[in-house]
Homo-oligomer: A and B are copies of this chain.
Amino acid sequence: MIETPTPADPAEPEPTARRRGRPPRAESADTRDRILTVAREEFSERGYEKTSVRGIAKAAGVDSALVHHYFGTKEQVFEAAISVSFSAALHAPEAVAAGPLDGVGERLTRFVFGVWDNPATRAPLLAVLRSAVNNETAAAVFRRVIATQLLRRIAAQVDLPDAELRAELAAAQIVGTAMMRYVIKLEPLASADLEQIIARIAPVVQHHLTAR
């Protein structure tokens, strides 16, 4: 649990002068945040497989033991990193809750495409998606996060038989469209006006979630 000195880096001076012993509480939060930021960068750049706790620790200027102390295994570091990367998207259940059920398709579609259409919030989603497509363990973590933090919460508000399957099929339409538009960049979809996409997708999302 001892932080090791950061390797000399002229661009970035060491954040603290104290180096030995367990950090005090205020510094703990800073250090934890710093490790999480570095972890997201490492997972994003290298993907799940090639990222190591040792590499994260080194880049954050701390001992590997401190990374394990705050987050646990590499899998758990990845789960914490995903939750931050998805923080924008994880507000989707609130968008679903923010109005009557007959407008849920448009609210959910508009909300999620708002996240995908913004390059700043799209980049971390793409990084997570890449890791999940490439690695079974990363896929399992991704699955757990979106199931518990996203899909089940949406399903709970729908309150119909098969609500979870409904939420997954609605998500499949949105994620599939996002992949075609932002990753594969198929035309005319990639250049289509966002409002046109929302107008086409929202009724399908509504259908999946609420049709009897």
Sample of 21 A–B contacts (CB below 8 Å): A130-B133, A132-B183, A133-B134, A133-B179, A133-B183, A139-B183, A139-B184, A139-B185, A140-B185, A143-B185, A151-B186, A165-B188, A165-B189, A165-B200, A168-B189, A169-B189, A169-B200, A173-B176, A200-B208, A203-B207, A204-B208
Asked if A65 CB lies within 8 Å of chain B CBs, one says: no
Chain A interface residue count, CB cutoff 8 Å, equals 41
Across the interface, name the chain B residue whose C-beta is closest to A147: B186
Complex CA–CA separation, A66 to B184 (angstroms) = 30
Q: In terms of DSSP, what is the predominant structure of the interface of chain A?
A: helix
- Residues from chain B with Cβ under 8 Å of A175 in the complex: 176, 179-180
Complex CA–CA separation, A183 to B174 (angstroms) = 16
Contact of A176 among B140, B165, B179 (CB under 8 A): B179
Bitwise interface map of A from 163 to 196 toward B, beta carbon under 8 Å scored 1, else 0: 0110011011111110110011111110010000
Q: Which 9 A-B pairs have the closest CB atoms?
A: A176-B176, A172-B176, A172-B177, A168-B189, A173-B173, A175-B176, A172-B180, A133-B133, A143-B184
Which A positions have Cβ atoms within 8 angstroms of B? 47, 129-130, 132-134, 139-140, 142-143, 146-147, 151, 162, 164-165, 168-169, 171-177, 179-180, 183-189, 192, 200-201, 203-204, 207-208
